[in-house]
Chains A and B, each alone.
Chain A
Amino acid sequence: MQAALPETVHIDDLVAPEAMCFHCGETHSANPQWRHVVEGRERTFCCAGCLAVAQTIDAAGLAPYYRQRTTAVRPAGIDEGKYEREAAQAAAGGLVVAVAPGRHEAALLLEGLHCGACVWLIETWLARKPSIEEISVNFATRRARVRWRGDAQDLASVLRDIAVIGYRAYAYDPVRREALLRRETRALMLRMGVALLASMQVMMLAVPVYLAQDIVEPELKSLLDWASFAMTLPVVAYSAAPFFTGAWRSLRARMPGMDVPVAIGVAGAFAASAWSTFTGRGDVYYDSVTMFVALLLVARFCEHRARAKAARTIESVARELPSTADRLRGSAIDTVAADSLVDGDLVRVAAGASVPADGVVVEGASSVEEALLTGESRPLRKLVGDPLLAGSINRESPLVMRVTAAGRSTTLASLARLVERAADARPRSVRLAEYAAAWFVGILLIVAAGTALYWSAHDASRMLPIVFSVLVVSCPCALSLATPAAMATAAGALGRLGVVAVRPDAIESLARADHVVFDKTGTLTVGRPRLAALDVQGRLDREACLAIAAALEAGASHPLEEAFRPFGGIPPPDVHDIVAVPGEGVEGRIAGRRYRCGRPSWVGEIAYPAPAPHAPDEAIVVALADERGWLATFVLEDALREGSGPLVRTLRELRMTVTLLSGDRAPVVRRIAEQAGIVHWRAELRPNDKGAFVRTRQQEGARIAMIGDGLNDAPALAQADVSIAMGDAAALTRWTADIVVLGDDVRRIGDAFAIARRTLAIVRENVGWAVAYNVVAIPLAAVGLVSPFAASIGMAVSSLVVIGNALRLAKG
């Protein structure tokens, strides 16, 4: 973390020069009025504030801090009433948590934390306050967790105590969702653990009875039953509680879910066993009950973990956003909360640190990893003028950036909101599965009732175990657990690729699509001109011409500059008197000679009349000349993206028809289509024509996936069955697409199609398996061929099979 600071100010530098403030290191007048003896020596201070802070630290016996620290601290101003307001706001916003009666806890974001000594100072200082119960400061995240005795409003005194020693603390939301998730995971794990432990114990007691039914004495049998009862009770009362509440909730909603047969089965079998135990007559099913609950909970736990992991793919990014930023004001660097940055602030991003906000590089050059946002793991080269995204990691050397968006308006924050919205909505397939599960359960209950009637008439002693088997053996898990798990896992797998499903039904529509339409040439090309051909006409060679053109364009930050950037001379020629003429080109002097680079006719004004350039008519032609004559003409073309060819091949392998629709002129479209390997293409189309094309194909039965930049061609995108937008994350919020592909690697679209198809295939497999299993198992149970114990194992294994199958999506 030391790297985050430009220079490390050592204590010797601070103490030795008498003209420096002992606390903050600021220079002060030669003979200041603020003086105080610290550690046996008189120190001078720049202001009353620093003096007060130093006196406080010294009086508390914490003066060793001055020996330990490596940088000086600017005191935060102390403003009466400010902390009371902040504490009230934090309490109202739910940021202060009551952990016990009269005990509260809050997570704080600390500003002004520079080194390990600061952590020591804050921890030691606060720990001495009688009301503080616990304080821990995390230096890496600059966050602290404080617990105190008192009410929520007492947060104000905690904030003031921290300000008194020169730091600034804010209450901050430790992502309540995360806390909620942790509570759920813990509860599920407890229930599962208790059920597993009990099932093992009960099994141990049950097996001897099975093996030696005839020789177990009645007293011993009674003891074993009572012991089993004691260990099954917590399983039914605690571990199985979610099934009972779930069953009750789904019955009240008139949509019986899979919890209903589970609840009836567990409660019925336990009641019957307890009755047998109390009266000493009849069979017990404790082993089946505990095993059943334990294995079901294992299945639920797997599903819960997979879903939490998928949800965290992008949420973890938001959590890893740096909470503070090094803001530059003149020559001073302040560490401030990242949320408090505003547009136009200059921020220093140290090597190895994360970018705290969206912005533009104004100083320095480095490579930056944007994997969080674009899925692109290769670091990207960033030079002055290049955009930076919050959450990306600066890999090489320090950068200075100008903030363009901070806090909730960053690209990362909008992405997180989009994903959250999509995760909250349930896809059509999941709704359908729940609907089917309700029917399934309804029919199952009727079958169970019928079975009960039949057996009570024929052999009443077998009625209970058979009805229990019927209820337990049925497995609607493929519908109510595995389908949502598969969808969530697929969303997580896509997220890791940098593909975000914005609409809930997107994955399904993607899997069903059989016709891919690219809505413009720009989707397949890089969208920026690249040097395609070079024609040297004068006295200078290729390299020299390119170096001059690159220097001229670079000096003017002209839009075409990028095309020439790779060819800059080393060292670049010195350019003076640069003038950029909009729409024409750039003029400048190199070694006293006047050069022009730009449109041939404009360049021709200083040289001889232009020779006709040999270039395809859709390309951009740039000429270079000096006063003595023509030097070169450059042909710039919009080149095909690296991944376009492979993408089209992948789509073909997936047996999809690929069409390119474009508003561009025919020669351009033909060239791009040929390069990418697309057979079907249409040129010079207006947006409405594209919409009509999609409609016609749909009437012929095609399911169309439309790939575009998401900004134009709204009619066609809306008409398509599923729309995919390509582009950088910056334009995210404007997109109207169903699926957003971050970064510019189009090959991911092919991967997304493959994942979506695999997801749908797995959902179908699961439903097929569930149908086959239930059709076989339920009749067998109804005629009394399946013991309750075998039924619980069959059901649990079936659940694990479908969930395990769904989780395969997370891999590969």
Chain B
Amino acid sequence: MDILFLLIPLAVVLAFLIGAAFVWSVRSGQFDDLDGPAQRVLLDDDTLH
């Protein structure tokens, strides 16, 4: 059972890392539009790059 003393803190650290990733993804606007991106693939991109 001693391994738990390593694994549980590790799980906590991992959870915090996942939380940080989630915060970043929301802040960068990836959750702003939950419907649009699905439709965007059907639209032509008019801009010239």
Known: A197-B18, A230-B12, A231-B12. A189 touches B46 (CB 8 A): no
- Distance A68 CA – B47 CA, assembled complex (angstroms): 12
Report yes or no: A220 in contact with B46, Cβ–Cβ below 8 A.
no
Report yes or no: A139 in contact with B47, Cβ–Cβ below 8 A.
yes
Report yes or no: B32 in contact with A119, Cβ–Cβ below 8 A.
no
Shortest CB-to-CB span from A663 to chain B, Å, is: 50
Candidates A68, A189, A198; contact of B31 at CB < 8 Å: A189
- Distance A197 CA – B46 CA, assembled complex (angstroms): 40
Report yes or no: A198 in contact with B15, Cβ–Cβ below 8 A.
yes
Report yes or no: B47 in contact with A227, Cβ–Cβ below 8 A.
no
Report yes or no: B46 in contact with A186, Cβ–Cβ below 8 A.
no
* Nearest residue, chain B, Cβ from A186: B26
B4, B18, B29: which has the most chain A beta carbons within 10 Å?
B4
Instruction: Confirm or deny: A201 has a beta carbon within 8 angstroms of a beta carbon on chain B.
Output: yes
Residues of B within 8 Å of A97, CB to CB, are none
Known: A140-B46, A227-B12. A186 touches B22 (CB 8 A): no
- Distance A249 CA – B33 CA, assembled complex (angstroms): 31
Report yes or no: B31 in contact with A119, Cβ–Cβ below 8 A.
no
Instruction: Confirm or deny: A544 has a beta carbon within 8 angstroms of a beta carbon on chain B.
Output: no
Instruction: Confirm or deny: A413 has a beta carbon within 8 angstroms of a beta carbon on chain B.
Output: no
Q: 1/0 contact trace for B27-49 toward A, CB 8 Å?
A: 10101100000000000001111
Residues of B within 8 Å of A204, CB to CB, are 11
* Nearest residue, chain B, Cβ from A118: B48
Candidates B15, B22, B23; contact of A231 at CB < 8 Å: B15
Q: 1/0 contact trace for A182-223 toward B, CB 8 Å?
A: 100110011001100110010011000000000001001001
Report yes or no: A224 in contact with B8, Cβ–Cβ below 8 A.
yes
Shortest CB-to-CB span from B17 to chain A, Å, is: 11
Residues of A within 8 Å of B1, CB to CB, are 217, 220
Known: A185-B32, A234-B19. A201 touches B46 (CB 8 A): no
Known: A139-B47, A140-B46. A197 touches B22 (CB 8 A): yes
Instruction: Confirm or deny: A533 has a beta carbon within 8 angstroms of a beta carbon on chain B.
Output: no
Residues of B within 8 Å of A227, CB to CB, are 8-9, 11-12
- Distance A137 CA – B47 CA, assembled complex (angstroms): 8
Report yes or no: A120 in contact with B22, Cβ–Cβ below 8 A.
no
Known: A201-B11, A223-B4, A224-B8. A194 touches B46 (CB 8 A): no
Shortest CB-to-CB span from A495 to chain B, Å, is: 19
Residues of B within 8 Å of A139, CB to CB, are 46-47
Known: A194-B22, A197-B18, A234-B19. A119 touches B8 (CB 8 A): no
Where chain B touches its partner, the secondary structure class is: helix
Known: A186-B32, A190-B26, A220-B1. A205 touches B8 (CB 8 A): yes
Instruction: Confirm or deny: A785 has a beta carbon within 8 angstroms of a beta carbon on chain B.
Output: no
- Distance A186 CA – B24 CA, assembled complex (angstroms): 11
Known: A68-B48, A186-B32. A223 touches B5 (CB 8 A): yes
Residues of A within 8 Å of B47, CB to CB, are 116, 119-120, 137-139
- Distance A488 CA – B12 CA, assembled complex (angstroms): 41
Report yes or no: A119 in contact with B48, Cβ–Cβ below 8 A.
yes
Report yes or no: B8 in contact with A117, Cβ–Cβ below 8 A.
no
Report yes or no: A197 in contact with B8, Cβ–Cβ below 8 A.
no
Shortest CB-to-CB span from B10 to chain A, Å, is: 10
Instruction: Confirm or deny: A384 has a beta carbon within 8 angstroms of a beta carbon on chain B.
Output: no
- Distance A139 CA – B4 CA, assembled complex (angstroms): 57
Residues of A within 8 Å of B49, CB to CB, are 120
- Distance A68 CA – B29 CA, assembled complex (angstroms): 33
Residues of B within 8 Å of A189, CB to CB, are 26, 31
Residues of B within 8 Å of A205, CB to CB, are 8
- Distance A190 CA – B29 CA, assembled complex (angstroms): 11
- Distance A730 CA – B39 CA, assembled complex (angstroms): 34
Instruction: Confirm or deny: A1 has a beta carbon within 8 angstroms of a beta carbon on chain B.
Output: yes
Shortest CB-to-CB span from A117 to chain B, Å, is: 6
* Nearest residue, chain A, Cβ from B25: A193
Shortest CB-to-CB span from A642 to chain B, Å, is: 35
* Nearest residue, chain A, Cβ from B22: A193
B9, B12, B27: which has the most chain A beta carbons within 10 Å?
B12
Residues of B within 8 Å of A119, CB to CB, are 47-48
Candidates A190, A197, A220, A223; contact of B15 at CB < 8 Å: A197
Residues of B within 8 Å of A117, CB to CB, are 48
Report yes or no: B27 in contact with A223, Cβ–Cβ below 8 A.
no
- Distance A139 CA – B48 CA, assembled complex (angstroms): 10
- Distance A230 CA – B13 CA, assembled complex (angstroms): 10
Known: A140-B46, A197-B15. A220 touches B32 (CB 8 A): no
- Distance A32 CA – B8 CA, assembled complex (angstroms): 83
Report yes or no: B4 in contact with A190, Cβ–Cβ below 8 A.
no
Shortest CB-to-CB span from B9 to chain A, Å, is: 7
Residues of A within 8 Å of B8, CB to CB, are 205, 223-224, 227
Known: A190-B23, A193-B22, A227-B9. A1 touches B46 (CB 8 A): yes
Residues of B within 8 Å of A182, CB to CB, are 32
Residues of B within 8 Å of A140, CB to CB, are 46
- Distance A220 CA – B22 CA, assembled complex (angstroms): 30
- Distance A186 CA – B5 CA, assembled complex (angstroms): 36
Report yes or no: A197 in contact with B12, Cβ–Cβ below 8 A.
no
A119, A139, A193: which has the most chain B beta carbons within 10 Å?
A193
* Nearest residue, chain B, Cβ from A140: B46
Shortest CB-to-CB span from A661 to chain B, Å, is: 47
* Nearest residue, chain A, Cβ from B44: A140
Report yes or no: A116 in contact with B46, Cβ–Cβ below 8 A.
yes
Known: A189-B26, A189-B31, A234-B19. A120 touches B48 (CB 8 A): yes
* Nearest residue, chain B, Cβ from A197: B19
Known: A120-B49, A186-B32, A223-B4. A193 touches B11 (CB 8 A): no
Report yes or no: A186 in contact with B27, Cβ–Cβ below 8 A.
yes
Residues of A within 8 Å of B27, CB to CB, are 186, 190
- Distance A1 CA – B18 CA, assembled complex (angstroms): 43
Shortest CB-to-CB span from B6 to chain A, Å, is: 10
Known: A201-B15, A234-B19. A193 touches B26 (CB 8 A): yes
- Distance A535 CA – B4 CA, assembled complex (angstroms): 100
Q: Give the interface of B toward A (CB within 8 A).
A: 1, 4-5, 8-9, 11-12, 15, 18-19, 22-23, 26-27, 29, 31-32, 46-49
A sample of 18 inter-chain contacts (CB < 8 A) reads: A68-B48, A116-B46, A116-B48, A117-B48, A120-B47, A139-B47, A186-B26, A186-B29, A186-B31, A193-B19, A197-B15, A197-B22, A198-B19, A201-B11, A205-B8, A220-B4, A224-B8, A227-B8
In the A-B complex, the 4 residue pairs with the smallest Cβ-Cβ separation, listed nearest first, are A116-B48, A120-B48, A139-B46, A201-B15
Beyond the given pairs A116-B48, A120-B49, A190-B22, 19 more chain A to chain B contacts, judged by CB atoms under 8 angstroms and listed by A's residue number, are: A1-B46, A68-B48, A119-B48, A137-B47, A138-B47, A139-B47, A186-B27, A186-B29, A186-B32, A189-B26, A193-B22, A193-B26, A197-B15, A198-B15, A205-B8, A220-B1, A220-B4, A224-B8, A231-B12
